[in-house]
Amino acid sequence: MYKVGLTGGIGCGKTTVSNLFKQLSVPVIDADEIAHALVSPAGIALTQISQQFGQTYILADGNLNRSKLRETIFNDVEKKSQLENIMHPLIYEEIEQQLSELSAPYAILSIPLLLETKMQAFVDHILVIDCPMEVQINRVKLRDQLSAAQITAIIHSQVSRSERLAQADSIIDNTQDQLKLNQQVKHLHEQFLKQAQ
């Protein structure tokens, strides 16, 4: 199966584009959704996180204390690395599992940290969703109620925009209207179907 790795910085519109591919009946495997399931009270990563970081990272209701963990990993490179060593192998293992159950010409693998995890070889084609940094900040402010400083810190913790664009096989410009976005997705859909043959 032909694997298209969809990636982009925070607030660039990865979910919007993934949903457009879904509307074209393309299977989408979402690394963020997998990560959420892994750290749910029944998820295998949650136990590992509580062992590694301590019980204070688990809320009274059994859920992960996301804000506490987010704050810790932004301020401590070593802790960030520990979390990645728990999460990334489990995420890619689950992606492989889900891929093995599909029968389609190609699949979209939405992996926000595809380049950061140096997993370019895991996919056949890198599709980058792109928009300027000020657009990212405005979108995330509206969506997540984070401050501009917090959002900027997240952006700087990711691969730079120029590096992401340099590694792209295809780029979707997500600064235009919905019609233009739909057209870009349809065009790529036809291209991927050809490449998957």
Distance between CA 128 and CA 125 in Å, rounded? 10
What is the residue whose two structure tokens read 């062992």?
A: 51
pLDDT (0 to 100) of residue 151: 87
Question: pTM score, two decimals?
Answer: 0.91
pLDDT < 50: residue spans in the chain: none
pLDDT digits (tens, 9 = 90+) for 33-78: 999 999 999 899 999 999 999 999 999 999 999 989 988 988 888 9
pLDDT (0 to 100) of residue 42: 86
pLDDT (0 to 100) of residue 148: 87
Q: What is the dihedral of CA 19, 42, 50, 86, to 10 degrees?
A: -50
Segments making up each domain of the chain, as ranges: 1-27+106-197, 33-101
| CATH annotation of 1-27+106-197 | 3.40.50.300
- 7: its two tokens: 């990636």
pLDDT (0 to 100) of residue 132: 93
Distance between CA 4 and CA 123 in Å, rounded? 6
Chain centre distance of CA 11? 11
